[in-house]
């Protein structure tokens, strides 16, 4: 096919000798960081294994395992994308590792087992937005690491924790049992 027959304006393909710009250092693409290449290659390799796991699980009729493998693929693809996007933008690594906030929220719940918290309370303690914390809590509930304690207001606690005492003290106040450690911040208006 001759240039222009496919509806294009006859632009030359890269590397066919008809480049508009001479090869010099100013136009050359920077060599990617080997760590970025290794990280992305690692994710791509694991995506391949997870794809095989999806097929195997589907053939065996195990939809739960297939779903878990698909979620693994999505997470790894997202991380590889963020790594590449950061590198292309001149940053060394993605700004936030996926799941980092979720782990901070889980650590907070583990530090105060049996106590209920609203997303706002945890967000204030972690200096994160309550919306992002709410999303992390919802994911922790889906993973079985946290549980919804009350619907209104939505409060959460560590999964498997005994229910907080409903009597004399508010169940949503963080750190009420641990006032001696200096981390407790009673809720305004709480007795």
> How far, in Å, CA of 43 to CA of 82, rounded?
11
Predicted confidence at residue 40, as pLDDT, reads 83
- pLDDT single digits (tens) 44-72: 888 898 899 999 999 999 998 888 888 88
Phi, psi of 42 (to 5 degrees): -60, -45
Q: Is the pLDDT of residue 109 over 90?
A: yes
Per the structure block, which two tokens stand in for 24?
């010099």
Q: Confirm whether pTM is higher than 0.75.
A: no
Residue 77 CA, distance from chain mean position: 11
E strand spans, the chain: 146-150, 155-158
- pLDDT single digits (tens) 131-171: 999 999 999 999 999 999 999 999 999 998 776 554 334 44
Q: What residue ranges do the domains of the chain occupy?
A: 34-88, 100-178
Q: Is the pLDDT of residue 23 over 70?
A: no
Contact between residue 128 and residue 101 where contact means Cβ atoms under 8 Å apart: yes
Classified by CATH at the fold level, domain 100-178 comes out as Arc Repressor Mutant, subunit A (1.10.10)
Q: What is the CA radius of gyration of the chain?
A: 25
> How far, in Å, CA of 81 to CA of 39, rounded?
11
pLDDT level of residue 81 (50, 70, 90 thresholds): confident
């Amino acid at each position: 096919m001759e240039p222009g027959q496919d509806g294009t304006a006859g632009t030359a393909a890269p590397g066919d000798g008809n480049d508009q710009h001479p090869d010099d250092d100013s136009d050359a693409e920077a060599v990617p960081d080997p760590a970025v290449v290794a990280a992305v290659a690692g994710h791509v390799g694991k995506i391949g294994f997870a794809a095989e796991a999806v097929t195997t699980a589907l053939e065996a009729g195990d939809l739960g395992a297939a779903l878990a493998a698909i979620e693994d693929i999505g997470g790894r693809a997202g991380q590889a994308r963020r790594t590449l996007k950061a590198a292309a933008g001149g940053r060394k690594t993605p700004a936030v590792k996926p799941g980092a906030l979720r782990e901070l929220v889980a650590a907070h719940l583990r530090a105060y087992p049996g106590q209920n918290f609203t997303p706002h309370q945890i967000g204030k303690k972690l200096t994160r937005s309550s919306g992002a914390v709410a999303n992390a809590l919802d994911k922790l509930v889906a993973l079985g690491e946290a549980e919804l304690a009350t619907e209104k207001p939505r409060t959460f606690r560590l999964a498997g924790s005994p229910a907080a005492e409903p009597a004399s003290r508010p169940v949503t106040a963080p750190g009420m049992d641990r006032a001696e450690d200096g981390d407790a911040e009673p809720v305004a208006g709480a007795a």
